[in-house]
Amino acid sequence: METNPIPVVTVQTSPFDDQRPGTNGLRRKTELFEGKKNYLQNYIQSLLSSIDLRDRQGCTMVVGSDGRYFSRAATEIIVQMAAANGIGRLVIGHNGLLSTPAVSCIIRKIKAIGGIILTASHNPGGPGGDFGVKFNVANGGPSPDTVMEKIAQVSRTLEEYTICPDLHIDLARLGRHDFDLENKFKPFRVDSVEVYLNLLRTIFDFSAIKTLLTGPEQLKIRVDAMNGVMGPYVRRILCDELGAPANAAVNCVPLEDFGGRPPEPSLTYAAPLVDAMKGGDFGFGAALDADGDRYMILGENGFFVNPSDSLAVMAANLSCIPYFRQLGLKGFARSMATSTALDRVAKALKVTLYETPTGWRFFGNLMDSGRCSLCGEESFGTSSDHIREKDGLWSVLVWLSIMAVRKQGVEEIVKDHWAKLGRNYFCRFDYEGVDPRAAFYLMRDLEGVITDKAFLTQKFAVGTNVYSVERADNFEYIDPVDGTVVRNQGLRIVFTDESRLVFRLSGSGGGAGATVRIYAESFERDPERHNRETQVRSTLESILIGTTTLCVYFGVSVFYCCWCGHIVFDL
């Protein structure tokens, strides 16, 4: 114990009007958090004050970061404010580092009241990059809308925050730290723990994966941690425990700027991995984002697995995983914007399929109520009910488990899946920095067009293809657990051949302006037509070209594919 109690200080402040958290917490430019007086402190106080004092007093909370620039300074502020606000114990990763899946795991394991994650996911780091503060609740999952709104309400009227400015901890020192404070909530403890890796060991057959990576038919792998928080986990699991050579794991040292590139597992930003895979020396490749919740899978010669296909292939092969053989399948879930490939697996396995709005928090209720075993989104996020977050390393281990059991390569597994259930050609196109008013009017006017009864009779001829509208709506979700209704979650146009167009405004970016996402999906049963390029004009692009006149609202002249960054078409 400290010989003298550490004082608690109350600091006067003024509220900010832009601190309502979005789908992924509060995400802004780093310079705003670092340079604007009390900006971070205000938000942390709003977050802590949103927790009822009776629940907060003496409770346990988890804190972790993806290691990006400003994380260490922010972690110290959070420790100081948590102590001043009655939190009894903090569990923090070594050097302040914890992946998002690990935070979720630890919250559930130790029954914490929640966890604060410092991350902006796959957004760039460094002084000129992005920073974010995310709050996960007691089930280990992201905050529901009610919690986010409560935080926002507090932030709009906040006049003071409390802090222990003289409380300092050494994040590099493992173990327990105890402090005596000048308030009624004492003592205050800070711990560092490691439970996530133990959880993974209970889910997978590590001996089977180790044989795959070290046996006579050794699979050579390459995993790019993109200088994010997952580097140490990758080395511990894949190299130290499963026997992959040290050079199988690259960019495993967490860096504040992620080596100068956005830590996004895509064909664009993981280009060095793609090039290495195209050389033919590796049979399996994967990339993980900054906080470890997103991933990308590549096969030999750079074969790219679309994230929606990855989710469907996993679902079809969960019997390869001991965890699911023991517990069985309860149900599958996907976000509305994700391709319907998962639906076909659910139908084949006679498993219930849930379609939710975008945002991982919507899967939490399904899992907590025992309705869902596997869930995923088209943005490279997949996981199961072992935690309440996306889990990139878990997804990599699922793929390696499937390969170990089936004794097939990535491309062979995917193409076999297509042959059985058909292929869903799918792509997402992003336009960022759109004027918010223009984006609003675009969505409003488009909704007016597609919900008009006359639209249901429309047919769009593109080359030899004719697309007939079957239905169109603004997606609305009714939670099957508590009956909560969520409206205006994206515009859907579904065609009679099961092709789809989805238009959605996204709130996950850290920059100014709105982000408009357009998703295009085209189903193909004929195996002879399964090997075409996803962006071939006669399928997905032809559907999009029929809608480009709508883009005059915000002046879009070029669309980029969100996965490869290539220009898809130029008006």
- Would you place residue 172 in the very low, low, confident or very high pLDDT band (cuts 50, 70, 90)? confident
pLDDT in tens, 343-378: 999 999 999 999 999 999 999 999 999 999 999 999
Distances (CA, A) of 290 to 50, 254, 261: 28, 9, 11
Q: Which pLDDT score, from 0 to 100, does residue 193 have?
A: 58
In three-state form (DSSP H/G/I as H, E/B as E, the rest C), the secondary structure along 4-60 is CCECCEEEECCCCCCCCCECCEEEEEHHHHHHCCCHHHHHHHHHHHCCCHHHHCCCE
CA proximity to 521, closest of 505, 497, 545, 504: 497
Per-residue pLDDT averaged across 382-409, rounded?
Answer: 98
Is pLDDT above 70 for 381?
yes
Q: Which pLDDT score, from 0 to 100, does residue 2 have?
A: 46
Please, is 58 exposed, middle or buried when counting C-beta atoms within 10 Å of its C-beta (0-12, 13-18, 19+)? middle
| Active-site residue set | 121
User: Which helix (H) or strand (E) covers residue 545, if one does?
Assistant: helix 542-545
Is pLDDT above 80 for 203?
yes
pLDDT in tens, 397-451: 999 999 999 999 999 999 999 999 999 999 898 888 888 898 899 899 999 999 9
Interhelix angle 410-421/307-316, nearest 10 degrees: 80
Q: Tell me whether the omega of the peptide bond preceding residue 245 falls within 30 degrees of 0, making it cis.
A: no
Query: Which amino acid is located at 533 in the chain?
Result: E
Q: Which pLDDT score, from 0 to 100, does residue 536 have?
A: 55
Q: Which pLDDT score, from 0 to 100, does residue 457 have?
A: 87
pLDDT in tens, 207-227: 999 999 999 999 999 999 999
pLDDT in tens, 533-571: 765 544 444 445 444 434 444 444 444 455 454 444 333
Query: Which DSSP state fits 457?
Result: G
- Would you place residue 462 in the very low, low, confident or very high pLDDT band (cuts 50, 70, 90)? confident
pTM over 0.75: yes
Q: Which pLDDT score, from 0 to 100, does residue 448 have?
A: 93
| Secondary structure (3-state) at 295 | strand
pLDDT in tens, 481-514: 999 999 999 999 999 988 999 999 986 555 568 8
Average pLDDT, the chain: 90
Q: What are the phi and psi torsion angles at 268 (to 5°)?
A: -75, -55
- Name which residue leads in pLDDT, 150 or 560: 150
Q: Which pLDDT score, from 0 to 100, does residue 466 have?
A: 83
Q: Which pLDDT score, from 0 to 100, does residue 511 have?
A: 55
d(CA 119, CA 122): 9
d(CA 179, CA 462): 70
